[in-house]
Structure 1
Amino acid sequence: MPQPHSAATLIGSVQRAMRLLESVAEHEHGAPAKQLARETGLALPTAYHLLRTLVYEGYLRREKGLFFLGEAAERLGSSGAAQKRRSTVADTLAQWRDSIGVPVYYARYHDGEIEVMCVSDTPGNPAVEEWADFRETGHAHAIGQCLLSQLDEDARRDHLDRYPVQPVTRYTVRDNHTLLGRLERIGRMEPVVERQEYALGTVCAAIPITLGATVGTMAISLPARQADRLLLAARQLQSEIGRKLGSIGLCISI
């Protein structure tokens, strides 16, 4: 009766397969099995077996006797790159959170929707609770107003056709016409401020970010009792964005 593979044997097989993948990745124009076996120090029969398995699983592809990275391996690489971009943005927001002493948000307008991509807060300075869907209440919060202010008139009206203005608190703008007028008056690079329009007891400010086709914003929030800090904190954030935008621009534009 065949004995089950030991853990050491299974781990060894994975290690050998990973060495082959790494070796293939170093050859842009492909490499034959014999060369890969030699570079990884594997016996040729072992290398052949692992290479066939990796081709079958989609991690490699074989063309005219040469092995190349397959779609599955490329997806892994893309996922890793995306994770690194998210980590870079999260780390940057955390630095701003700590230096300014406020929760910091990154959001974008993508495919007709408001998307909050990252939030950095602390127990002492918590983020605003999303008690009403951010996508549907863009008229009521600084993030949404900032994003909508960067769109052209047709895109704004399309958004409001799908998500019409409705009361969220007693301070919320009351109708589409009033909101559109407000958006028209927002300066191109001015912070967008709202006071208790989305959540009672909270004031927010958002800074517009436009990179290529990406419409985005960085925002902060404060308890209403600290409203006198809001504009100063927003200017601090704007200054930090100006210093860091070059290094994180690619991360937030993809």
Structure 2
Amino acid sequence: MPTSSASTTDAAKTSAPSGGVQSLERAFDLLERMADAGGEVGLSELSASSGLPLPTIHRLMRTLVSCGYVRQQPNRRYALGPRLIRLGESASRLLGTWARPYLARLVEETGETANMALLDGDEIVYVAQVPSKHSMRMFTEVGRRVLPHSTGVGKALLAHTPADEVRALLARTGMPAATEKTITTADGFLDALDEVRRLGYAVDDNEQEIGVRCLAVSVPNSPTAAAISISGPAGRVTEAATDKIVPVLQQVAAELSEALASSGPGA
């Protein structure tokens, strides 16, 4: 019996090729696969996608269930558990804090208020902001939630989402008009997303608030869907200013993407 126990312990400490603990890497890989699959999967699906044998997956899932990070449904499928919510909320706040130096650079180089926003379910949530130094400036409270259809960050975040998924989201949220310029039809919004893909950036032109113009880009390869933006009075964020601001936005987004990647596996 002692020999069997020691063998189990050694197996649990088996190192992965990256130098990490293999069982931990496998467990996190399974959680990410569950998230990619919509949050609920069966063991056979996980085995097919991960290439791991069913007994290994069953053992890992049993551990995750006992810790509260996964729960087993009545239909025997597995779903992401409630303990992940607290981790996600804390990570979102930290991501916003970490992004502040990049937003500060945006303010320095554009003169306008810079924001970072995430897609949380069907809503946009602002997680960081650095205000402009102008006396007339835009202010969005960190933690504020808005619907995607009336914001530049919403367009940037949804630009590469399949059209049927976008339509389903809009059907769930509705498309209330924040101003007379707000896009209020699904076809109109999908046309706007076509424009984002064509141009490489999104515009909110008086659609969330009259007199305010915003420019936004997504953060490439972000671990969670994220976008950065600048916002300011329409009299300052003109078409001519847009030509100067967009390359700065894209450069800062690329640098933020590299910083996020450098904290991942193998960093």
TM (norm. structure 1) is 0.58
* Structure 1 residue 221, shift from structure 2 partner: 1.0
Q: 2:166 aligns with which of 156, 160, 163?
A: 156
The answer to whether 1:201 aligns with 2:211 is yes
Q: What amino acid is aligned across from residue 155 of structure 1 in structure 2?
A: E
Conserved in 1, the CA contact under 8 Å of 2:221 and 2:257? no
Counterpart-to-counterpart distance in 1, 2:164 and 2:215:
25
* Structure 1 residue 237, shift from structure 2 partner: 1.6
The answer to whether 1:230 aligns with 2:212 is no
Aligned length: 172
* Structure 1 residue 202, shift from structure 2 partner: 0.9
Q: 2:123 aligns with which of 100, 110, 113?
A: 113
* Structure 1 residue 182, shift from structure 2 partner: 2.3
For structure 2, the residue ranges without an aligned partner over 5 or more in a row are: 1-66, 68-86
1:86-125 matches, within 5 Å, as 86-124=96-134
Counterpart-to-counterpart distance in 2, 1:246 and 1:199:
33
Q: Which residue of 1 aligns with 2:201?
A: 191
Q: 1:135 aligns with which of 117, 133, 146?
A: 146
Counterpart-to-counterpart distance in 2, 1:205 and 1:126:
15
Q: Which residue of 2 aligns with 1:242?
A: 254
Q: What amino acid is aligned across from residue 187 of structure 2 in structure 1?
A: H
* Structure 1 residue 244, shift from structure 2 partner: 4.2
The C-alpha deviation readout for 1:198-231, integer Å capped at 9, x for no partner, is 1111111111224265222111112111113133
1:55-74 matches, within 5 Å, as none
* Structure 1 residue 109, shift from structure 2 partner: 1.3
Distance 1:89 1:212, change over 3 A: closer
The answer to whether 1:165 aligns with 2:175 is yes
* Structure 1 residue 134, shift from structure 2 partner: 4.2
For structure 1, the residue ranges without an aligned partner over 5 or more in a row are: 1-70, 72-77
Counterpart-to-counterpart distance in 1, 2:262 and 2:180:
39
The answer to whether 1:181 aligns with 2:217 is no
The C-alpha deviation readout for 1:60-105, integer Å capped at 9, x for no partner, is xxxxxxxxxxx9xxxxxx89x9576543212221222123211111
Q: What amino acid is aligned across from residue 165 of structure 2 in structure 1?
A: A
Q: What amino acid is aligned across from residue 95 of structure 1 in structure 2?
A: R
TM (norm. structure 2) is 0.55
For residue 173 of structure 1, give the secondary structure of its aligned residue in structure 2.
coil
Q: What amino acid is aligned across from residue 148 of structure 1 in structure 2?
A: L
Q: Percent of aligned pairs with the same residue?
A: 19
Counterpart-to-counterpart distance in 2, 1:141 and 1:84:
23
The answer to whether 1:126 aligns with 2:137 is yes
Root-mean-square deviation over aligned CA pairs: 3.0
Counterpart-to-counterpart distance in 1, 2:106 and 2:117:
15
Distance 1:244 1:145, change over 3 A: closer
